[in-house]
Structure 1
């Protein structure tokens, strides 16, 4: 009698977490693992080159989408979408995955981000509940506190795949123990405050205690995974590159993200690209990225901006191609990963936060070509977020400013 083993048990048994074909001798796998990637390009794209002029499945590809022609059945491009109430120009980046209104206001308090809601559902099954990567954090806790981001693709690779020496592991264990001691001390010092403060202050303390409990859970999980071998990958660690070299930096991050998903090191990734004034080392570009985004319809500035935009799109196409090339049971890694790429700005030159550029790829959705909504009365982007939550098994009927769902 042949003993039936799950694919994951087999892979962990040999210390490897890379995806393999279904092996008949070890039995069929369970339903495919689902993953989520959310990408924000904070300076957006030059709209006339991004948005198609036609709608529906037979639309003519826009100049920026032409490199993705072979993938057009795998993604939907949306126009006429935004987060109602989210204004403030560049400050809107904080609300890209939360939809919390008026992020530039003095009393602004953020809310939980889409990725963290999903991570709460599926994050206990992987080494990293979620990865927050890029120049600025898109991820916010249940209490609206920003989660630190990792800017370096080289460090991300090391955290995911390099084991470290015994001395380094010992140091990590000591840091974790110190973390437990600090949390215990903090709780002890504040425990009696709840009986002495106002109702409003008690609410703040409850939020604080929730954050402490979440931190404690993360420490326990990290300790549990510390002794387990990290997955083995054939790719070399990427060289450290600054975000000023925007396209190279994007490609390096996207490579690490693909490996993280492929090895099931995480099932949730939030990534934000760069928003700065450095001059990218790209042919024909002589001005800073941020400055070019404020082109004021200057033809030469738009031409230079197009070089950066096309490089960004090429990196996204390579990322999606890479996911689609990895075969798993019942489809490719792309078939089992929903990939959102958009921006908090619809027109960076004018700091407008409506009519956002949105690409949605992968998953087992019936992609719809170009889905165009009213440019004067935008569809809430959160309607798509609800689809994303439900696809990941989160039983939630609303999120942020949602009013319905987009798919089905």
Structure 2
């Protein structure tokens, strides 16, 4: 170590890698209730940037059942397991946030700090769930995306907000994996790699001891946060190793998928947007099927994204540009195709979950997967209400096949939904984000 600055940077990078590494492939998992009597519940959030075409979003309740609007039509086969939640709002953004980045708090519900040099949002709902539920699986949570960090600052907000909705602490975004192979390898790692990673962990801890006296109070606080994560990881590895030695003799719930049902992806990012999205969805579904994790977040694209949708017939342009259609019919038609494509990709993953039998119910029945955006009307940057669709029955606690409209309620914070979902994952909070009450009518 030639300098304290270099030591600190080396340590944090090394530790960041170590914390993100998976545990042994042979570890057995247990159900969300702490027993292995039945299939566990899973929770997931799928984000699409730049809002939706409001003319074709949502659905309505009819005597014949749920009728889906055009954008959601790819979900027809599983509409009995959908809950369209309308009227919910991101109220913390109404008066202070401009543009896009200041509204990227859909999973935390706390005000986004306006600064180009530092970041602060709030611990997101997925990571709060992972703090509890993640102790029972090899991987606490899976955070995926198709685009890395990019773009400049916007309206005084840091670039980082564009590419992250999952935050492990108010000031730390959860690492997002955009390479399919690296995401896949995180689920399946060899014993040799695990032994190597254990060695890395030991060396990082040893280096941490020598650093503590050299750091400022601020850096010591940061270091302690990382060390807490390492200690938790060590404890969970020890617990998982003990559980792996328990012989259930075939009794109780076991994952229906025990080996990878997709090939290991290539090392590069696919040039095809469709292939990339489908691969990441496949990895997310596989992680749920094998009970590698019970918490997942997937950003189909960043907010203010420049993802090119020109591969769709008749579409010319990128995601953000198409969202600002100016109500021009031709531009709106292209924006609509982009929306439908995103929903179709999500629908394919949901269908795979619906086709995965876990005994009395399917994987989708045992899950709660939310599709949402940080804007409703992308053309107007509107966050006064948000596009939200909940798929799955939460282990039988959610009715499905309905539209729930909260637009006339006084308290219509999106975080009320998050509180309700946390309850169903066994994570009870008096309040979360800007909400103190649960949504009524889900069950």
Question: TM-score category by the smaller chain?
Answer: 0.7 to 0.9
* Counterpart Cα distance in 1 of 2:187 and 2:141: 12
Deviations 1:280-337 (A, max 9, x none): 3222222122211111112222222222211111111111111111111331111111
Question: Does structure 1 residue 346 correspond to structure 2 residue 379?
Answer: no
How far 1:247 sits from its partner (Å)? 3.0
Contact 1:32–1:330 at 8 Å: present in 2 too? no
Q: Is the aligned partner of 1:110 residue 2:121?
A: yes
Tell me the equivalent position of 1:81.
88
SS at 2:43 equivalent: strand
Q: Judging changes above 3 Å, is the alpha-carbon distance between structure 1 residues 225 and 29 closer, same or farther for their aligned structure 2 residues?
A: closer
Corresponding position of 1:300: 330
Moved more, 138-147 or 381-390: 138-147
Partners of 1:366 and 1:89 in 2: CA distance: 36
1:26-55 Cα deviation digits (max 9, x unpaired): xx9503211111111122221111123558
What's the secondary structure of 2:350's corresponding residue?
helix
Query: d(CA) in 2 for partners of 1:156 and 1:357?
Result: 28
Q: 1:49 to 1:224 in 2, by over 3 A?
A: same
Question: In structure 2, the residue corresponding to 1:379 is in which secondary structure?
Answer: coil
> CA–CA distance in 2 between the matches of 1:376 and 1:394?
25
The partner residue of 2:174 within 137, 147, 152 is 147
Note if 1:335 corresponds to 2:365: yes
Please say if residues 67 and 317 of structure 1, whose CA atoms lie closer than 8 Å, have aligned partners that are also in contact.
yes
Structure 2: gaps of 5 or more residues: 1-24, 148-162, 246-256
Contact 2:47 2:301 in 1 (8 A): no
* CA distance in structure 1 between the partners assigned to 2:39 and 2:100 by the alignment: 38
Return closer, same or farther for 1:213/1:55 CA change in 2, 3 Å cut-off: farther
Paired with 1:62 and 1:353, the residues of 2 have a C-alpha distance of 20
CA distance in 2, matches of 1:366, 1:18: 27
Q: Is 2:65–2:401's contact at 8 Å kept on the other side of the alignment? A: no
User: 294-303 or 375-384, which moves further after superposition?
Assistant: 375-384
Structure 1 contact 88–104 (Cα < 8 Å) conserved? no
TM-score normalized with structure 2 length: 0.75
Tell me how far apart the structure 1 counterparts of residues 99 and 202 of structure 2 sit (CA, whole Å): 42
Contact 1:84 1:101 in 2 (8 A): no
1:360 aligns with 2:390: yes
Deviations 1:141-190 (A, max 9, x none): 234311211012222112212537x4x55543332223222332333434
SS in 2 for 1:360: strand
- TM-score, normalization: structure 1? 0.81
| 2:133 is the counterpart of 1:122 | yes
Structure 1 SS opposite 2:59: coil
Aligned to 2:18: none
* Structure 1 residue 123 displacement after superposition: 0.9
1:274 aligns with 2:301: yes
State the distance in 1 between where 2:210 and 2:174 align: 22
Deviation at 1:277, TM superposition (A): 1.8
Aligned-residue Cα RMSD (Å) equals: 3.3
**Displacement of 1:208 after TM fit?**
5.2
Counterpart position of 2:288: 261
Deviation at 1:77, TM superposition (A): 0.7
Partner of 1:180: 205
Pairing 1:7-406 to 2, within 5 Å after superposition: 30-52=37-59, 58-86=65-93, 87-92=97-102, 94-104=104-114, 109-134=120-145, 135=147, 136-163=163-190, 166=192, 168-169=193-194, 171-190=196-215, 206=221, 209-218=224-233, 221=236, 232-239=259-266, 242=269, 245-275=272-302, 276-280=305-309, 281-362=311-392, 363=394, 364=396, 365-367=398-400, 369-374=402-407, 379-406=412-439
In 1, Cα distance between the equivalents of 2:295 and 2:214? 35
| 1:102–1:234 CA distance, 2 compared to 1 (3 A) | closer
Give the 3-state SS of the residue equivalent to 1:85 in structure 2: helix
CA distance 1:102–1:162, change in 2 (3 Å)? closer
Distance in 1 separating the partners of 2:206 and 2:63 = 58
Cα distance change, pair 344–215 in 1 and its aligned pair in 2 (3 A) = farther
Residue of structure 1 equivalent to 2:7? none
Q: Any conservation in 1 of the 2:74–2:340 contact (CA below 8 Å)? A: no
Pair 1:302–1:177, CA change in 2 (3 A): same
Q: How has the CA–CA distance of structure 1 residues 398 and 221 changed in structure 2, closer, same or farther, with 3 Å as cutoff?
A: same
Whole-angstrom distance in 2 between the partners of 1:173 and 1:29: 28
Extract unaligned runs of 5+ from structure 1: 1-13, 20-27, 195-200
